[in-house]
């Protein structure tokens, strides 16, 4: 598998800026640790079931959806009410990105065995470019993305503790992303994706 890191000679990350921007250390190490601890203690994380090859399987991670409405039509889980911490984070992310969000999906990866398979995020408002802000706390994990038309065009970006990644433009349309399992020992990570549900 071809896996390219997007670094230039000055060790700066090279990202297609019209598709994503990355800010490491957007939250301080202190704040990040406080948020991670709070979420692990208080969020009612659940392992949801999805249909795969006509079988019901448990997703290899835990998740919880907070916001003003269900994440998608027909989703059985009622949205959980915003907490003070999530509102605090949302405000900071909105000020930085100039975008407003009405929901946030929390994914909890307990260790290197937890993952999310190749997918693109489908909560697109027709005719509008999807903007999703992704905040990570805890264990750094590789975020892989690949071109839907050409899977050899694949890149990887490490999402560190307290980082902010803004996914935008045609990223969801033409690219898929995943968090792969890892054979290395991995501690807990909680990722927040702020979304705008139509
Ligand atoms: O954990 C991550 O960084 C990505 C999560 C993700 O892709 C999703 O929730 O749709
Ligand atoms: Fe996603």
Give me the interface pTM, i.e. the ipTM: 0.99
pLDDT at residue 84 above 90?
yes
For 142-179, the pLDDT digits (tens) are: 999 898 998 988 888 999 999 999 999 888 888 999 99
Ligand 1: atom nearest CA of 159 is: 3
**CATH number for position 16:** 2.60.120.590
Q: Which ligand does the CA of 165 lie closest to? A: 1
Q: What's the mean per-residue pLDDT of the chain?
A: 88
Instruction: Return the residue whose CA atom lies nearest to atom 2 of ligand 1.
Output: 191
Which sign, positive or negative, has the C-alpha torsion 70, 193, 103, 43? positive
For the sheet containing 163-167, what is the strand order?
A: 20-23, 163-167, 132-138, 189-195, 103-109, 62-67
Distance 61 CA to ligand 1 centre (A): 10
Asked if residue 190 has its Cβ within 6 Å of ligand 1, the reply is no
Contact assessment for residue 113 and residue 61, using Cβ atoms and an 8 Å cutoff: no
Distance 195 CA to ligand 1 centre (A): 11
Distance between CA atoms of residues 110 and 104, nearest Å: 19
Q: Is 94 left (phi over 0), alpha (psi -120 to 50) or beta?
A: alpha
In this prediction, residue 73 carries a pLDDT of: 73
Look at the chain and report how many structural domains it folds into: 1
**Confidence grade of residue 123 (pLDDT, cut at 50, 70, 90):** low
| 62: containing domain | 4-195
Asked if residue 171 has its Cβ within 6 Å of ligand 1, the reply is no
Asked if residue 159 has its Cβ within 6 Å of ligand 1, the reply is yes
In this prediction, residue 7 carries a pLDDT of: 56
The burial of 158, by beta-carbon neighbours within 10 Å (0-12 exposed, 13-18 middle, 19 or more buried), is given as middle
**Highest mean pLDDT of the ranges 76-85, 92-101, 150-159:** 92-101
pLDDT at residue 16 above 90?
no
Question: To test the ligand 1 pocket, which listed residue (116, 119, 121, 122) has its Cβ within 8 A of the most ligand atoms?
Answer: 116
Asked if residue 163 has its Cβ within 6 Å of ligand 1, the reply is no
Instruction: Give the pTM.
Output: 0.90
């Amino acid at each position: 598998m071809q896996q390219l890191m997007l670094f230039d000679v000055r060790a700066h990350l090279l990202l297609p800026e019209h598709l994503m921007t990355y800010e490491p250390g957007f939250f301080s190490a202190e704040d990040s640790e406080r948020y991670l601890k709070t979420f692990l203690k208080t969020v009612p994380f659940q392992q949801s079931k999805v249909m795969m090859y006509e079988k019901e399987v448990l997703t290899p991670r835990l998740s919880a959806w907070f916001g003003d409405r269900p994440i998608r039509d027909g989703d059985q889980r009622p949205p959980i009410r915003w907490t003070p911490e999530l509102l605090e984070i949302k405000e900071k992310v909105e000020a930085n990105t100039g975008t407003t969000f009405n929901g946030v999906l929390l994914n909890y990866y307990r260790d290197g065995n937890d993952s999310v398979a190749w997918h693109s995020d489908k909560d697109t408002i027709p005719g509008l470019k999807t903007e999703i802000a992704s905040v990570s706390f805890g264990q750094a994990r590789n975020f892989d993305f690949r071109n839907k038309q050409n899977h050899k065009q694949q890149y990887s970006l490490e999402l560190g503790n307290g980082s902010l990644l803004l996914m935008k433009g045609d990223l969801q349309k033409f690219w898929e992303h995943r968090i792969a399992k890892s054979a290395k020992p991995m501690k807990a990570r909680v990722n927040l994706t702020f979304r705008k549900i139509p």
